[in-house]
């Protein structure tokens, strides 16, 4: 970065750092630095040796300023308004397919059930060739996505490739208003356990949960497993309404406190609950965040549910969208939220950054003790602690790199093209099929460098630097060769890690999230633990009683 641009960013950031100075001095400093900023930009634009892009330069300055705050405060330029609207509402007009790049190919990653792409028989893994006569091979995801979207009722022509199919697929779809469901899967498990996987909190989430719950109760459900793993949150009001399904009317669900008194609010349940007696287990993970934590935390604070899984993310911040000029927007953090016990579960302290700009988690020594309504001890400042902790799966480097390579996705596409009638429920790969997969991966020349190999390379470099290499050369070479031998057999050695991931990917290709769940639910550690505690009424009640 040039010195001029660095200076430019520093001046922009300076405009936001006067929160604790006296009002008159603060306003003078703001006016002064804005004037400096404007005059500096004018000089750079006029005299810099090369042409500069004013819009790009200003946005760089804006983003540099906001980086000093938190990752949830964002500037939304006019061209990104549509993307932001889709993220917050779950609605858009198109063909109902999520697309992505897998090994340099633009493919369908999710054809949403009930919408044009799904109804036309398009599948996960189908590769785009043309959209409305335009060749899109090698194009970016945003470029292809823009061509697919349009006004409801308009038509779009697609040409796609499908694995193991010689002829291209040619379809003409009529665009529709797409509303993505918040629930990816709901079902009745054995033992009268209702299972609901809630992925988002866009408008309508609470009604979807209510409807799914009532349908499952009609089928005989007596207990509920609400899966909030990997749910990053969304609408505060949907979170309140979901909590309201299990809490009496008039109970506090969450309160917010900000710098402005306008943001100091208490949110209570407004409606009659749907069920106050059904035992509930909420599944959590390290990526259960924001609105998900409001639901999980409020149910925990009222001793209305047990939390099963891992400590949640710890996002106790509330964002509000503010309209700016020229159709731009600012999504800004305006308050912190507090759940009924009085705790804020915010884990990262963005106010007190280190000198290098990094942010630390709130220290355990600063965490405070609170009590649930029944008197159980809970703590603030680091996410929600589960009532039943389940160790998160840790994968070897080879497994992680294989998953990131897109090869599991590709092989699942091929497998499903060859075996379209495979039933996903409890699906398992045979030894023969897994060996076929290993051979296919080797043909693709899959390579990676393990942490052990990296450390060995560092050891060799250190030995050379310290002049020990000549004496250790044979031993180091033997070590590297041994590691290489292990790496060649990693796909077989790590079958117990890799095979379940591939089986779940195949399940997803067959029947989307429902298929993935059908493959995995009977071996899911958190689900099994939830079923166990819900089945044991005495243990469930004891867990919700102060010890």
For the chain, how long is the longest CA-to-CA vector? 79
Residue 315 appears among annotated catalytic residues: yes
> What whole-number distance in Å separates Cα of residue 8 and Cα of residue 3?
8
3-state secondary structure of 438: helix
Contact (CB, 8 A) for 465 and 435 = no
Sign of CA dihedral 285, 289, 293, 295: negative
Residue 380 appears among annotated catalytic residues: no
> What whole-number distance in Å separates Cα of residue 55 and Cα of residue 248?
52
Residue 462 appears among annotated catalytic residues: no
Which one of 186, 290, 292, 341 is the catalytic residue?
290
Q: CB within 8 A of 428, min separation 6: which ones? A: 499, 503
Which one of 199, 301, 387, 490 is the catalytic residue?
301
- DSSP sequence for 347-416: -B-SSS--TTS---BPPGGG--EEE-TTS-EEE-SS-PPPSEE-PPP---HHHHHHHHHTHHHHHHHHHH
Produce one character per residue of 292-324: b if its CB has 16 or more CB atoms within 10 Å, e if not.
bbbbbbbbbbbbbbbbbbbbbbbbbbbbeeeee
Query: Which of 409, 344, 353 minimizes the C-alpha distance to 382?
Result: 344
Contact (CB, 8 A) for 152 and 93 = yes
Q: CB within 8 A of 13, min separation 6: which ones? A: 64, 65, 68
Q: Token match 């799966």: residue? A: 393
Judged on CB neighbours under 10 Å (0-12, 13-18, 19+), 355 is: exposed
Which one of 197, 311, 315, 531 is the catalytic residue?
315
> What whole-number distance in Å separates Cα of residue 495 and Cα of residue 503?
11
3-state secondary structure of 433: helix
Residues with a catalytic annotation lie at 290, 301, 315
């Amino acid at each position: 970065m040039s010195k001029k641009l660095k200076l430019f960013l520093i001046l922009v950031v300076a405009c936001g750092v006067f929160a604790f100075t006296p009002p008159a001095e603060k306003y003078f400093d703001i006016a002064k630095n804005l004037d400096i900023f404007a005059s500096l930009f004018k000089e750079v634009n006029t005299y810099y040796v090369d042409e500069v892009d004013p819009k790009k330069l200003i946005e760089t300055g804006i983003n540099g300023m906001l980086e000093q705050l938190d990752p949830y405060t964002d500037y939304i330029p006019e061209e990104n308004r549509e993307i932001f609207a889709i993220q917050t509402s779950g609605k858009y007009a198109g063909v109902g397919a999520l697309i992505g790049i897998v090994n340099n190919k633009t493919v369908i990653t999710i054809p949403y059930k009930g919408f044009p792409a799904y109804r036309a028989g398009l599948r996960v893994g189908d590769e785009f060739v043309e959209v409305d006569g335009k060749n899109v091979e090698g194009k970016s995801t945003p470029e292809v996505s823009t061509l697919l979207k349009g006004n409801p009722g308009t038509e779009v022509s697609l040409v796609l490739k499908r694995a193991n199919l010689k002829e291209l697929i040619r379809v003409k779809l009529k665009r529709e208003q797409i509303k993505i469901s918040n629930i990816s899967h709901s079902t009745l498990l054995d033992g009268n356990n209702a299972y609901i996987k809630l992925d988002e909190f866009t408008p309508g989430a609470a009604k979807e949960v209510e409807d799914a719950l009532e349908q499952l109760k009609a089928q005989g459900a007596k207990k509920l497993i609400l899966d909030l793993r990997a749910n990053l949150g969304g609408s505060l009001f949907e979170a309140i309404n979901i909590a309201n399904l299990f809490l009496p009317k008039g109970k506090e669900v969450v309160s917010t406190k900000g710098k402005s008194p306008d943001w100091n609010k208490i949110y209570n349940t407004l409606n009659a609950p749907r069920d106050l007696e059904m035992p509930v287990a909420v599944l959590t993970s390290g990526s259960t965040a924001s609105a998900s934590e409001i639901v999980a935390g409020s149910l925990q604070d009222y001793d209305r549910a047990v939390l099963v899984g891992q400590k949640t993310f710890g996002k106790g911040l509330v964002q509000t969208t503010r309209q700016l000029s020229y159709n731009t927007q600012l999504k800004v953090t305006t308050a912190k939220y507090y759940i009924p016990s009085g705790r804020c579960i915010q884990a990262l302290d963005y106010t007190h950054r280190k000198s290098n700009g990094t942010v630390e988690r709130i220290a355990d020594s600063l965490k405070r003790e609170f009590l649930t309504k029944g008197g159980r001890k809970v703590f603030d400042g680091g996410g929600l602690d589960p009532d039943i902790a389940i160790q998160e799966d840790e994968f070897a480097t080879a497994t992680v790199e294989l998953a990131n390579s897109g090869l599991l996705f590709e092989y699942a596409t091929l497998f499903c093209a060859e075996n379209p009638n495979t039933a996903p429920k409890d699906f398992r790969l045979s030894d023969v099929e897994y060996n076929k997969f290993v051979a296919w991966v080797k043909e693709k020349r899959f390579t990676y460098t393990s942490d052990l190999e990296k450390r060995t390379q560092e050891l060799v470099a250190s030995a050379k630097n310290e002049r020990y290499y000549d004496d250790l050369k044979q031993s180091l070479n033997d070590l590297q060769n041994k590691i290489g031998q292990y790496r060649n057999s990693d796909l077989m050695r790590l079958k117990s890690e890799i095979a379940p991931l591939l089986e779940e990917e195949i399940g997803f290709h067959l029947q989307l999230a429902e298929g993935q769940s059908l493959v995995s639910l009977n071996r899911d550690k958190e689900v099994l633990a939830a079923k166990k505690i819900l089945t044991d009424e005495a243990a469930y009640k004891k867990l919700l009683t102060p010890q």
